[in-house]
Amino acid sequence: GKKWHSSYAVKVDDDDVTISEGSEALFSAQDLNFTLRRIEQLGSLSPDYILVSQALKTFAFDGPDNNNEIRFRFKDDRIWTEADIKEILSFKIIPANSSLTAQNYYNGSGPYLATTPQAEVTNYFRNPAGNATLERLNLKPFVDNSTFTT
């Protein structure tokens, strides 16, 4: 799984920066669920809200299943291309143990780790785990039997 930045210990001593392994904290479905709830609660205050609310039937997903895959249910009012889906799902995932009301989130899974600010300057260093990306996007049709008349 993907590691959160909190999985690393960053030590800054003048110009010397050391990044070492700490307690492993892995990205989970609970983190994604927390993030979707936060986007939904913020409503139009979140730049991600409009994209997600126009695309998904609900701010929820099914899974993960035995293959560790999740499923989103997109609205059926248009054809969703891979590029559309990547744009919609490009929001920043936030750890489930984060505050809903924080203005900044330094614990992420992106390509750079933030160090403790010194003299009001925050430096960023490359994440040893690399980038957080969607490794695979599998588009499958979803048939909702409730839409068929009998």
pLDDT per position as a tens digit, 6-48: 888 888 887 788 888 988 888 899 999 999 999 999 998 888 9
Residue 32: which of 143, 144, 132 has the closest Cα?
132
pTM (two decimals): 0.71
How is residue 146 annotated by DSSP? Answer: G
Which segments within the chain are labelled E, that is strand? 8-13, 16-21, 112-114, 124-126
Q: Are 31 and 95 in contact (CB under 8 A)?
A: yes
> 90-122: per-residue pLDDT in tens?
888 888 988 888 777 777 777 777 776 666 767
- Cα separation, 51 vs 46, in Å, equals 10
Domain ranges for the chain, please list them: 1-27+110-135, 28-108
- Cα separation, 114 vs 125, in Å, equals 7
Identity of residue 139: L
pLDDT interval class at 132 (50, 70, 90) = low
